[in-house]
């Protein structure tokens, strides 16, 4: 590589170089070479090669223009990872020697520099302090597809950006290009959308426009908007787009002029439009909300009413599986719930013996 980066600098010098405090040019009286550490003017090519070979600024320039992916969003993402806009080359190289880390959703990303070469690693952020030797090592970015399919309990993950990524793995030595590919495999389009937002070019498709373009079995969602407000879309966003359910930050609203009343979350990467999971849920809710309300009468003790509320909360927040059999004081405890069912359901499974009216 030594010869490559010096050769590249000499070849590019006639066009001028100005990058990360490195300035190189070729004039009639010779070459100029400037960094915060040195300032040479009127030098010949041999001298240029000598000073260039010793300069970390040249290696840095070569990495960003010959090694790093040149696609704008990927390039910007790698610059963000090592704090290139906040630290100069000298500060960055000192930090990179020990490793610079950042989180991206549930990913823990690290870049280190050794002998002028950057190496990248990815693991679950919960495993940030776990020794690599006890983690399953991978080197193929596409292995992330299989890792992302299931959570730690083996449950299928239909939403890639759900905060349920399994732990216990590591990609210990990736190139810059492979790092970005791996991140995009875990979280598709997040780098591109993050960069669009950074450049103030994020195009957002709101609920109303997304629903209007639905066809086939999803076309029924259009009928949910009946001109009586957008509270139903608030319910959808609260159900699906909370930080506890998705790592994206919802930027879409009801329409261009009407914001939703629920918070969009605080994720690092933006959500540009209602996703397929939201639309699939909306299809079911459209049918359910089309039913006429009925009045049912049940008798519950105050504690039983509170227990029903606790059960709903536990299921909605994904906490039901965490409640142990011994936690008998928890409303959603399995034995307490079974007791409630035994007391309140009839032999046909009707709550309070009251049949459901269709």
pLDDT in tens, 281-290: 999 999 888 8
Residues 92-140 pLDDT 10s: 999 999 999 999 999 999 999 998 899 999 999 999 999 999 999 999 9
Radius of gyration of the chain measured on its C-alpha atoms = 28
Q: Where are the domains of the chain?
A: 2-65, 69-195, 203-288, 296-358
Torsion (CA) 9, 15, 20, 23 in degrees, nearest 10:
80
Query: If you classify domain 203-288 with CATH, what class do you get?
Result: alpha beta
Please give the helix or strand (H or E) that residue 148 lies within, else none: helix 143-149
Q: Which residues contact 52 (CB under 8 A, 6 or more apart)?
A: 5, 6, 9, 10, 33, 58
CATH of 69-195, one of 3.40.640.10, 3.40.50.12780, 3.30.70.360, 3.30.1360.190: 3.30.1360.190
Q: Cα separation of 181 and 33, whole Å?
A: 35
Which two tokens mark 260? 């939703």
Q: 29-66 pLDDT, tens per residue?
A: 899 999 999 999 999 999 999 999 999 999 999 999 99
Residues 1 and 60: their CA atoms lie apart, in Å, by 12
Among 189, 143, 187, residue whose Cα is nearest residue 168? 143
In the predicted structure, residue 161 carries a pLDDT above the cut 70: yes
Q: How far is CA 295 from the centre of its chain?
A: 44
- For the chain, the residue count is 358
What is the helix (H) or strand (E) element at residue 170, kind and residue range? strand 169-174
């Amino acid at each position: 590589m030594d010869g490559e980066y010096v050769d590249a600098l000499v070849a590019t010098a006639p066009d001028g170089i100005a990058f990360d405090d490195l300035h190189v040019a070729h004039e009639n009286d010779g070459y100029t070479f400037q960094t915060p550490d040195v300032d040479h003017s009127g030098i010949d090519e041999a001298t240029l090669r000598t000073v260039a070979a010793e300069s970390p600024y040249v290696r840095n320039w070569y990495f960003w223009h010959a090694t790093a992916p040149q696609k704008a969003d990927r390039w910007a993402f790698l610059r963000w990872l090592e704090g290139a806009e906040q630290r100069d080359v000298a500060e960055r190289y000192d930090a990179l020697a020990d490793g610079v880390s950042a989180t991206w959703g549930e990913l823990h990303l690290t870049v280190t520099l050794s002998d002028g070469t950057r190496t990248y690693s990815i693991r679950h952020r919960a495993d940030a302090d776990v020794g690599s030797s006890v983690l399953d090592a991978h080197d193929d970015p596409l292995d992330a597809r299989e890792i992302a399919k299931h959570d730690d309990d083996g449950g299928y993950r239909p939403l890639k950006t759900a905060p349920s990524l399994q732990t216990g793995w590591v990609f210990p030595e990736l190139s810059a290009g492979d790092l970005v590919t791996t991140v995009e495999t875990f979280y598709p389009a997040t780098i591109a959308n993050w960069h669009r937002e950074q450049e103030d070019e994020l195009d957002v498709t709101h609920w109303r426009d997304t629903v209007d373009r639905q066809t086939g079995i999803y076309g029924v969602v259009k009928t949910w908007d009946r001109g009586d407000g957008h509270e139903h879309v608030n319910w959808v966003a609260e159900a699906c787009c909370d930080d506890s359910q998705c790592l994206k930050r919802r930027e879409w609203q009801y329409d261009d002029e009407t914001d939703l009343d629920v918070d969009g979350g605080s994720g690092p990467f933006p959500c540009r439009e209602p996703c397929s999971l939201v639309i699939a849920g909306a299809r079911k809710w459209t049918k359910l909300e089309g039913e006429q309300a009925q009045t049912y009468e049940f008798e519950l003790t105050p504690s039983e009413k509170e227990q029903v509320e606790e059960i709903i909360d536990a299921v909605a927040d994904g906490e039901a599986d965490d409640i142990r059999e011994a936690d008998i004081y928890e409303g959603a405890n399995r034995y307490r719930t079974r007791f409630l069912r035994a007391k309140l359901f009839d032999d046909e499974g009707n709550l309070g013996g009251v049949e459901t009216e269709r």
